[in-house]
Structure 1
Amino acid sequence: MLPAAPPLPEPAITPSLPPPGGEPFWVWAATIGGLIVIFAVDLWAGRRAREVTMAAAARGVAIYVGLAVFFAAGLVVFGGQHAATSFIAGYVTEYSLSVDNLFVFLLIMTTFAVPKAYQHRVLLVGILIALVMRGGFIVAGAAVLSRFSWVFYLFGAFLVITAYRVCRGEDDDAEYRENLLVRSVRRVLPVTDSYREGRLTVVEHGKRWVTPMLMVMIAIGLTDLLFALDSIPAIFGLTKDAYIVFTANAFALLGLRQLYFLLDGLLARLVYLKWGLGLILLFIGIKLVLEALHTNTLPFVNGGRPVPVPLIGIEVSLGVIVGVLAVTTVASLLRTRLRERAAV
């Protein structure tokens, strides 16, 4: 009688998320240097107070989206298709989630009564502040996730709860209210009662004052950081590579300023946008939970051993994100058109 053949080993489940990229220092330095140059050119181009037209805003959006596509092409050549796909998925997710930020930015501009001629400069500096703070958040998040995989459970649960709140419309605000940090800055720094031709600080009666221009920049930067509490866990659900997470955030924020000036009539037409964003957050939240189960180390879950659950690849994630945004956009435009016809 022949001996029984040894059992075949179970096929290992390959994680869909690569380990942190570990890009060399010169790559980070070159990337940050390039972003600084882009910000400097943009700031120099907008040095004169002027109102941004719809045509100029559309050209700006096209330019920044083109820069993101060019960067993704570079990733294909130097980092491989997986890195480029992860960047595109993260960029599309961040850009789509940032649409809600625009409404709050509009409320901030209205509350502070920012003249239209200065709004482009306010947004640029405010977004620069937000990017610097997001960078610190991303580095800290990557360090924590590389050591404690169970944090994915928390991120996943947080995104699922956020998805429910977004669909319910619980994050919609009728008016802007200054957060604690902005109120603290106002208590420490004396603020003038009106703008001083676009200047950030002035000396009056022998005393240094800050103008509302600086306050609104701080408000936009800090408000965007609060939004990052939702979006950055979402992009970490797509990739653990801190470099990809940072660059996706950077390019999304770069194009956000131009998109702001296309806001008029945009949100009113995208009636199903919140449902699409909620579905994307729910999908990424589930993806994070699956990843946490796959690398489980919690002793009260499966005895501290990994759970052999299927993982969702980055290509599938990109397809779901783009598909949801396309369906919700088309459905929103059709619904708006039907309403307009019915009104006529």
Structure 2
Amino acid sequence: MIWIWIAFIGFVLLMLALDLGVFHRRAHVVSIREAAIWSSVWIGLGLAFSVFVYFAYENKLLGLGTVPDPVDGLLNSGARATQKYLLGYVVEKSLSVDNIFVIAVIFDYFSVPRRYQHRVLFWGILGALVLRGLMIALGARLVAEFHWVLYLFAIFLILTALKMLFLESKPADPGRNMLVRLARRILPITDKLHGQRFVLRAGSEASRQGEVPGEAAEPDPVVDRARPGALLLTPLALALIVVETSDVIFAVDSIPAIFAITADPFLVFTSNVFAVLGLRSLYFALAGMVARFRYLKAALALVLLVVGVKMLLAGCLKLALGEHFNLYLLAVVLAILSAGITVSVLGERRDKESRGNR
């Protein structure tokens, strides 16, 4: 089975190399049109992968689907695996949208120019994939050996959903991030951006270049005081640290949600990867509009609530709805998200009309 993992990770690395090394080689402002195209590409790849999932599990390719899923105790056939993958993908994708609010706050706090935001998100999400992989491996092992962990996940999801519904939460202050404060104690931080660099060596040619290629850097007291050869972090590195840690925090909510659907490591990991890979382009496509979806957070909370209840009542639901109950759950999740977006759009339109009538 290891070969299927190697092939998938190789495919992901190839797509990321094409993304940064070819299509986004030079720093530039990502337009809404470009972001929409890339969002469509990543979503299309995520959905197309479900076809591979079906045939791979139906034909037991390289051992896939030969071990009972710890969540329901059933072998994953092609249809069953596809349902779980799609449901996991939709849940993870919808929960990742909430991260867009936080990313916007981070970029605003560190004054990251729009032309460098894609680079920060690229490396942030690459690191997030590694960290999520470790969390998924640990979670899969726990679920396989201690089935009762699923009930802890379920209670955690339900409590998180209730908190999102009834308690007002504000984005954390990026400057109070523990890793950022630690970095500021250990290494000097430049006052100015030096192009798209995360790390700078004092006295080097790069330290004398400004934010715009070919121009000299503005006076930077931190760089001037540093001894030649010393390493310095730039504000871009601090933004990357906070983006990385914020994704880990969100993963604490989202990864238990996928384990409510399946504990098959391959399905959990691939649905997570495709959901996260499209987050960069989704950010640029929705960053200016996401605040208008005022009821989306409530819809996401309801999704977590439904998934948590499903985890608690999986046995009863399977008896009542049959083996395709994951398909029904997918329909419910899509309906909740669609309702949240529709009500938000209608509310925004009503507000515009009321302002126009004044």
Mark yes or no: TM-score above 0.5. Answer: yes
Measure, in 2, the Cα distance between the counterparts of 1:118 and 1:180: 24
In 1, Cα distance between equivalents of 2:248 and 2:81:
25
Q: CA deviation at 1:175?
A: 4.7
Q: Which moved more, 1:177-186 or 1:79-88?
A: 177-186
Contact 2:179 2:241 in 1 (8 A): no
* Structure 1 SS opposite 2:112: coil
Residues 108 and 176, structure 1, Cα contact 8 Å, conserved in 2: yes
2:46 aligned residue: 68
Aligned to 2:276: 253
Question: Structure 1 counterpart of 2:47, which letter?
Answer: V
User: Which of 30, 36, 43 is the matching residue for 2:7?
Assistant: 30
Deviations 1:308-333 (A, max 9, x none): 98577211211111111111111111
Counterpart of 2:212 in structure 1 is none
The residue aligned with 2:344 is 332
Q: One-letter code of the match for 1:65?
A: I
2:211 counterpart of 1:234: no
- Partners of 1:240 and 1:309 in 2: how far apart? 16
Post-superposition Cα deviations, 1:50-94, rounded to whole Å, max 9, x if no partner, equal 000111011010111111111111112222121111111111111
1:196 maps to 194
- Which residue is 2:105 aligned to? 107
Q: Secondary structure at the match of 2:232?
A: strand
Corresponding residue for residue 5 of structure 1:
none
Greater CA drift, 150-159 or 131-140: 150-159
Letter in structure 1 aligned against 2:260: G
Distance 1:310 1:274 in 2: 32
For 2:297, the aligned partner's letter is K
- 2:245 paired residue number: 222
- Cα displacement (A) at 1:137: 0.2
Distance 2:341 2:229 in 1: 55
Report what 1:117 is aligned to. Answer: 115
> Offset of 1:177 from its aligned partner?
4.4
The one-letter code of the counterpart of 1:38 is: M
After superposition, the Cα gap between the structure-2 partners of 1:339 and 1:233, relative to the gap in structure 1 and judged at 3 Å, is: same
Q: Distance in 1 between matches of 2:311 and 2:331?
A: 17
Unpaired stretches in structure 2, ≥5 consecutive residues: 58-77, 203-227
Looking at structure 2, the residues matched to 60 and 309 of structure 1 have their Cα atoms a distance apart, in angstroms, of 38
The equivalences for 1:263-342 within 5 A come to 263-291=286-314, 294=315, 310=319, 313-342=325-354
- CA 1:337–1:147 in 2, change beyond 3 Å: closer, same or farther? same
Aligned to 2:137: 139
Query: CA deviation digits over 1:165-204, x for unaligned, max 9?
Result: 1112533327544322332233223221221111122211
**Conserved 8 A contact 1:104-1:176:** no
Question: Aligned partners of 2:167, 2:10: CA distance in 1, in Å?
Answer: 39
- Contact 1:129-1:218 at 8 Å conserved across structures: no
Shift in Å, 1:268: 2.5
Normalising by structure 2, what TM-score?
0.82
Conserved? CA contact 1:290–1:311, under 8 Å = no
Cα offset for 1:209? 1.3
Q: Distance in 1 between matches of 2:101 and 2:245?
A: 15
Q: What SS class does the counterpart of residue 191 from structure 1 fall into?
A: coil
Q: Which amino acid aligns with 2:312?
A: V
CA contact (8 A) 1:287 1:311 kept: no
Secondary structure of the 2:176 match is coil
CA distance in 1, matches of 2:327, 2:351: 36
SS at match of 1:243: helix
Q: Once the two structures are superposed, what CA deviation does each residue of 1:109-135 show, in whole Å capped at 9, x if it has no partner?
A: 111111111111111110111111010
Q: Contact 2:100/2:287 (CA < 8 Å) preserved in 1? A: no
Secondary structure at the counterpart of residue 231 of structure 2? strand
Partner of 1:162: 160
Residue in 2 that maps onto 1:299: none
- Residue 275 of structure 1 aligns with an amino acid whose one-letter code is A
Aligned letter for 1:125?
W
Unaligned runs of 5+ residues in structure 1 are: 1-23, 295-306
Q: Give me the TM-score of the superposition, normalised by structure 1.
A: 0.85
Correspondence 1:77 to 2:77: no
Partner of 2:17: 40
